Amino acid sequence: MGLQENSYFLSAGESLLCDQNERFLFTEAELESLDVEVRFDLPEISNKSYRIAVLKDKGKCLLLGALDLRSALSQTANEDEFSVLSAAAQVVTWHASFKFCPRCATKLIMDEADLAKVCPSCGHHQYPRLSPCIIVLVRKDDKCLLAHSSKFKSGRYSTLAGFIEAGESAEHAVEREVMEEVGVKVKNIEYVCSQSWPFPHSFMLGFMAEYSEGEITPDGEEILSADWFSVDDLPTIPPKFTISRQLIDEFIKNV
């Protein structure tokens, strides 16, 4: 990816844009011929600054279309690169999705100080949206519980995940989601790591948990199949840039 400070991500609509070489960071000079609607700063990553320029129209430039975000994330070299690209994608989605004030329907404008939009009529501030989620690897002796979701490609298995509901702790969400999706109770829930996940604006809190009781019973809607797998017979699992893979790798390391 080759992060260069003060580079620009470009977007039109809800997509980040790239050129014919799948390049998606551009210089100030390359923006001169483009019709830019608005520019704003991303949160700093490792004390480095990056910006987004939102185009009114893709128009007459080197850009050919929308960036394949999953592919680009899979090619990031480190956590900084992943974080910058994830932040850019989530901010673009937010900018495209929140145009009007949810209180009075006035068109929002960019805040001059913060990464936010403000209503010029009632003063309401709208910040980039984050949806907190849990993701958990359940262990049972030397095996782990992996599931095939209705959203996955054929043969792909991963950890269990779900959104945290209003008023709910992350730990309770782990217990609830595991029970709802596969009918199993868990104990000894331990936090491991987190990851911002831009599909479209999830914030994943990763946990390990131990099996307590129950028989695996997939819900048949979100989860089509699930089973216990040992290190020697793992199915097709998610790529290394995902938090689910980090949890699986942590399990493998400690078996």
Q: Based on the domain organization, do 170 and 215 belong to the same domain? A: yes
**240 lies in some domain:** yes
Q: What integer pLDDT is reported at residue 136 of this predicted model?
A: 98
Residue 117 reports pLDDT greater than 90: yes
CATH number at residue 153: 3.90.79.10
**226 lies in some domain:** yes
**2 lies in some domain:** no
Q: What integer pLDDT is reported at residue 23 of this predicted model?
A: 87
**111 lies in some domain:** no
Q: Based on the domain organization, do 234 and 136 belong to the same domain? A: yes
Decide which of 97, 119, 151 is a domain's last residue: 97
Residue 12 reports pLDDT greater than 90: no
Residues 47-75, mean pLDDT to the nearest whole number: 82
Q: Based on the domain organization, do 143 and 57 belong to the same domain? A: no
User: How far is the C-alpha of 16 from the C-alpha of 14, rounded, in Å?
Assistant: 7
Decide which of 36, 71, 97 is a domain's last residue: 97
**150 lies in some domain:** yes
Residue 191 reports pLDDT greater than 80: yes
Residues 82-91, mean pLDDT to the nearest whole number: 93
Residue 128 reports pLDDT greater than 90: yes
Q: Based on the domain organization, do 36 and 140 belong to the same domain? A: no
**114 lies in some domain:** no
Provide the token pair at 48: 């480095």
Q: What integer pLDDT is reported at residue 35 of this predicted model?
A: 87
**125 lies in some domain:** no
Q: Based on the domain organization, do 179 and 89 belong to the same domain? A: no
Count of domains in the chain? 2
Decide which of 38, 71, 97 is a domain's last residue: 97
Residue of 62 and 23 predicted with greater confidence: 23
**152 lies in some domain:** yes
Percent of the chain residues past pLDDT 90, beyond the cut: 73
Q: Based on the domain organization, do 92 and 135 belong to the same domain? A: no
Q: Based on the domain organization, do 78 and 144 belong to the same domain? A: no
Q: Based on the domain organization, do 89 and 191 belong to the same domain? A: no
Domain that holds residue 42: 8-97
Residue 87 near residue 45 (C-beta atoms within 8 A): yes
Q: What integer pLDDT is reported at residue 59 of this predicted model?
A: 56
Task: Give the pLDDT band of residue 61 (cuts 50, 70, 90).
Answer: low
Q: What integer pLDDT is reported at residue 62 of this predicted model?
A: 58
Average pLDDT along the chain: 92
Q: Based on the domain organization, do 249 and 141 belong to the same domain? A: yes
Q: Based on the domain organization, do 146 and 228 belong to the same domain? A: yes
**Phi, psi of 91, rounded to the nearest 5 degrees:** -70, -40
Q: Based on the domain organization, do 92 and 152 belong to the same domain? A: no
Residue 67 reports pLDDT greater than 60: yes
